[in-house]
Structure 1
Amino acid sequence: MKNRRRIYEGKAKILYEGPEPGTLIQFFKDDATAFNKKKHEVVDGKGVLNNRISEHIFNHLNRMGIPTHFIRRLNMREQLIKEVEIIPLEVVVRNVAAGSLSKRLGIEEGTVLPRSIIEFYYKADALDDPMVSEEHITAFGWASPQEIDDIMALAIRVNDFLSGLFLGVGIQLVDFKIECGRLFEGDMMRIVVADEISPDSCRLWDVAT
């Protein structure tokens, strides 16, 4: 890894230059953070598990025709991905009231929502990732109205798949986060699911408890 050019390092992953143009290598760290790095510890093996789980989920999404940046897993901690232009938004899909939603709206935690709710948060650690509206997103040029529609459509499809996947093993998908990016292929551009989908980005409850 010392001879590879580091492109970016985040809280849980490192991106390195890939072997071919338009590719990157995504390395999963063992760091566990919360509240935008206000809480931090290292959990041995966490990166290995997240890499394998994310690989499993992204492989399913690709086979279902849901576009992602994932190409293949390289080893226990790394995967080969397509280089995308990340849209600076965290896309949160909520199925059950919990966490900040319960606090903001006074809804009892555990209440099943009448329908899945999509929320957007601007990716800015210094601002604690504030919640933003579609008006904010288009006004500040983070994404176009069409891109927002594409992101929401992807989020709903991912939610449908993940809900069924986890329910099959007795787990309720309370909420989860995805990130999306612009994948440029020649003269064409499309929105794809990027980053990772793992226990780090999902709130999961045991159905039996």
Structure 2
Amino acid sequence: MSSPSPRILIADDEEEIRFALKLHLGREGYTVVAAPDGAAALDRLEAEPFDLVLCDLVMPRLDGLGLIDAITTRGLGVPVVLMSAHADVETALDAMRRGAFDYVAKPFRADELIFRLRKAIEANALSARVERLQEALEAEASFGGIIAHSRPMQQIFRTIRKVVDYKTTVLLTGESGTGKELVARALHFTGTRREGPYIAVNCGAIPDNLLESEL
């Protein structure tokens, strides 16, 4: 099953440029939506997902730098490539400082633009994958408020997750100070047992002849 084509949002106040870019990028396999200014582009971004924004620097209502600021402030997480016929080093640096992924000067070659857009989309996708992997690793390294990275503790977490939603009696054993009560609390409050009371029983303080009846 083929993956959906990347979605690109174009923001430019010149209709001819919007038409030309939409036509060319469409031929390259991208799904393209066009907006006449930054404010309209921001509305589209908040309504539907996009993989990249290609916007002009000078636009009415909301210019390119303002659009970059809004995207960053609202945490929309989409890379922006800024384009302008008024190219200068200071503007390019300002755009990058504000969060733009790249900056291209008009007029530009079609192959150069495609290369930069593809690079931005791939870099953003890689960043998202790394973030998901990091979240998965952090989730794997924690359980019920306990954070551990050692292999033995990871194995304990995996074992606990297998029984956490079952009403199975679990006996935790180990030397004093190894965290048995922490694991017991995590096991209780993470699974279906959390609806009932948590009662800690220190088995080490119970005489052997009374332990079985106490449990």
TM-score range with shorter-chain normalisation? under 0.3
Larger Rg: 2
Q: Which has the higher strand share?
A: 1
Q: Which has the higher contact order (CA 8 A, sep 6+)?
A: 1
Q: Which has the higher helix share?
A: 2
